[in-house]
Amino acid sequence: MARHAGRGWYGRVIGAAVGVTAVTAAASVWTAQAGQTPSAPAHSAAPKTVAVSPVIAHSSDAGAHAVNITIDDGPDPTWTPQVLQVLRENGVKATFCMVGPQAQAHPDMVKQVVAAGHRLCDHTVSHDTGMDHKSESYQSQQILDAEKQITEASGGVRPMYYRAPGGAFTPYSRTLAASHGMRPLGWNADSKDFERPGTDAIVSTVKSELANGPTLLFHDAGGDRSQTVAALRILLPWLKQQGYAFGFPVR
């Protein structure tokens, strides 16, 4: 998975990260399911789950002739609702890889994503595409603080996946995420929509990269995403015409 150039804007926008979260062998493992009820009251024990696989997921739970729509970097009050509308019009569910402070700033958007039956994914606190060169304590803070921010913003629904910014996974970060019930999530077809090359170029790129595998990468934040919205309006019906089903990444 190639790193994305020009995606360091979160580092400039988000000036302060939440404090470092300690990791121990006895750390609680969390689960997330789209549509689950908010977390239990404080006096009750938090639900725990068995750790998921730390292997980076690419395939779809909907079978061999299926695709997974994944949306990164939001939520955004302008573009996330438009992406949700296109998905709703086409009856498609997606996985939203959210940056922690973005979720914290727009909890209404996070709740709308969950209410529509989509899944949540942890995309770290600062969207640092070089985090694979940073300390384990830094990686831990980025992943676990974002998990907490997203969970709180959603009203108690925890992320089911972890996607490293720019694909900057490490064995440590994959194992840590998996121990918290978040399957590391890759991609097969990068729409290149972040570069805003034009709607036609986005559509063409996705079509040409479909043979690489089922998980498609789009964005709903980080700038003007009107080209992404327009491309999804074209691609989702086209994919259906080609006989593709829509699923979620495997867990």
Residue keyed to tokens 């399957």:
183
Answer yes or no: 220 catalytic: no
Residue type at 37 in one-letter notation: T
HEC sequence for 87-102: HHHHCCCEEEEECHHH
Answer yes or no: 72 catalytic: yes
* Cα-based distances in Å from 62 to 32, 66, 132, 184, 241: 19, 6, 31, 18, 17
- Non-local CB neighbours of 3 within 8 Å, separated by 6+ positions: 129, 166, 167, 168
Catalytic residue among 72, 73, 145, 190: 72
Question: How far is residue 122's CA from residue 148's CA, in Å, rounded to a whole number?
Answer: 9
Point out which residues pair with 60 in neighbouring strands.
249
Catalytic residue among 4, 106, 180, 219: 219
Question: Are 163 and 122 a contacting pair, CB within 8 Å?
Answer: yes
Residues marked active site are found at: 72, 219
